[in-house]
Structure 1
Amino acid sequence: MMSAYIDFIRIRFLMMLAYRVNYYSGIIIYAINIGAYYFLWQAIYGDKETLAGFTVNQMTTYVAVSWMARAFYFNNLDREIANEIRDGSVAVQLIRPYSYLLVKMMQGFGEGLFRMLLFMVPGMIIVCLIFPVTLPTEPMTWLIYLVMLFFSFLINSQINILTGLFAFFVENNEGMMRMKRVMVDLFSGVVVPIAFFPGWLSAIMQWLPFQAITYLPSSVFTGRTPDSEIGQVFGLQVIWFIGLLVPIWWTWRAARRRLFVQGG
């Protein structure tokens, strides 16, 4: 049965490969975004060596790594699920002998692998040639970061799935999906590292899953997180991954009880 789910990864990867030219242009767009943030933070730092615990080099690397990591964990599972609910095709999915939500997760992972190989890796190489990005030399740091990046994908996908499932209840959750995307980019630390948030807002972020998507992995990768705290940081990601399974299960269980199909 597991081989069938792996096929969904392969199929989605091949599907994305058919539109790879779009992602080549995306590399340029992401490089421009990183460049804009790089010059912005250079102006903010001025003559200061550190701000909120970040050195200039750490901030440059943080910006580059965070945006390129976003290329891997980003997906549109929420929109896919919402569209299938609205057009009624989800009813066909439910009678097939597999887990609908697990299939969606596998499809998202196939898209993520494509983005990593043909977007994130070449994009990171180009960015490193243009901007003064300092990458770690310790193999263990890379290994820990890749594991944490995988959990970033899982947590972000869980939030997307949960958002998409709300289409069962509100029928049109377009506004909710847009709000979710803004919240993920802002509160995960892609736009501004959480260390720069006001104290009260930073304290709130400790109780939300968004920091586990970008801020925590990027802080480990840039060396801002001490080695003694890496286990604790990774543990937070695992806790959020397990914790998000509960609302997803509850929402999915409630949604299946009220499914109705519009149109014909």
Structure 2
Amino acid sequence: MTSAYLDFIRIRFLMMLAYRVNYYSGIVIYAINIGAYYFLWLAIYGSQESLAGFTVPQMTTYIAVSWMARAFYFNNLDREIANEIRDGSVSVQLIRPYSYLLVKMMQGFGEGLFRFMLFMIPGLAIVCLLFPVKLPTDPVVWLVYLVMLFFSFLINSQINILTGLFAFFVENNEGMMRMKRVMVDLFSGVVVPIAFFPGWLSGIMQWLPFQAITYLPSSVFTGRTPIGEAAGVFGLQTFWFLLLLVPIGLTWRAARKRLFVQGG
């Protein structure tokens, strides 16, 4: 059974590989986004060397690695699940001898591997040539960050799966999916690092899983958070990964009771 789940990773990777040309333009778009934010933050910093604990080199690196990390963990699992629920094809998935939700996670990981190898890595290399990004030289930092990046994918995918499952309960969850995407980008720290949020909002963010997707891992990568404190970040990511299993399980259980299929 384990090999069957691995096949879903391989199949999704090969499927993405067939349309790899579409992602070359994505590298250009992400590079433009990074450039726009880079010059914006340069104007904000002005003559100041540091803001909210970020130096200019740290902010430049944070912007680059955060956007390229998004290229890895981003997926449309919520939309895939919602479409399969609306057209009824989810019923076929449920009678097959595997876990539907685990299959979706494996498919998302297959897409993530493709994005990591053919989007994130070459994209980061190009950005480093265009902007003064300072990558860490300590291999331990790289290793720790890659582990955290994997958990970023898991947490983001869990949020996507949970959002997609709400299609069982509403006729159209398009608005919910759009709102979720904005919330993830904003509250995870991709658009603005959470350190720049007002104190009351920053306090609320500590009780939500979004910071564990981008802000905390990128802070470790840039050196804003010392590598000695990385265990705390990893612990928080693990906590949110385990906690999100609860609402997903409850929602999936309730959703299966609502499913009915007409026709023969």
Distance 1:250 1:153 in 2: 21
CA separation in 1, counterparts of 2:126 and 2:178?
30
Letter in 2 for 1:137: T
- One-letter amino acid of the counterpart of residue 82, structure 2: A
Q: For residues 188 and 263 of structure 1, what CA distance do their matches in structure 2 show?
A: 43
Is the Cα–Cα contact under 8 Å of residues 87 and 262 in structure 1 kept in the other structure?
Answer: no
SS at the partner of 1:17? helix
Aligned-residue offset at 1:262: 6.6
Alignment of 1:153-172 (within 5 A): 153-172=153-172
1:52-71 alignment runs, 5 A limit: 52-71=52-71
Q: What corresponds to 1:251 in structure 2?
A: 251
Aligned to 1:25: 25
Distance 2:140 2:84 in 1: 41
Matching residue of 2:15: 15
User: Take 1:228 and 1:17, find their aligned partners in 2: how far apart are those partners?
Assistant: 38
- 1:96-111 equivalent positions in 2, closer than 5 A: 96-111=96-111
Contact 1:86 1:261 (8 Å CA) reproduced: no
Q: Does 1:203 find its partner at 2:170?
A: no
- TM-score of the superposition, structure 2-length normalised? 0.99
User: Is the 8 Å Cα contact of residues 188 and 212 (structure 1) preserved in structure 2?
Assistant: yes
Deviation at 1:171, TM superposition (A): 2.4
Distance 1:129 1:66 in 2: 17
Which residue identity is paired with 1:203?
Answer: G
Q: Distance in 1 between matches of 2:40 and 2:263?
A: 50
| 1:256 to partner: Cα distance | 0.2
Listed as ranges, the matches of 1:1-264 within 5 Å are: 1-261=1-261
* Residue-pair matches, total: 264
Percent of aligned positions that are identical: 87
Q: Distance in 2 between matches of 1:134 and 1:106?
A: 33
Q: Deviations over 1:101-160 (max 9, x none)?
A: 000000000000000000000000000000000000000000000000000000000000
* Closer, same or farther: CA 75–262 of 1 in aligned 2, 3 Å: farther
Give SS of 2:47's match: coil
**In structure 2, C-alpha distance between the alignment counterparts of 1:42 and 1:232, rounded to whole Å:** 31
Give SS of 1:67's match. helix
* Contact residue 88 and residue 262 of structure 1 kept, 8 A: no
Structure 1 gap segments, 5+ residues each: none
**Structure 1 runs of 4+ with >2 Å offset:** 260-264
TM-score for the superposition, normalised by structure 1: 0.99
Give the deviation of 1:45 after TM superposition.
0.2
| CA shift for structure 1 position 246 | 0.2
Amino acid at match of 1:31: A
Q: Distance in 1 between matches of 2:64 and 2:167?
A: 34
Amino acid of the structure 2 residue aligned with 1:234 = F
SS at match of 2:169: helix
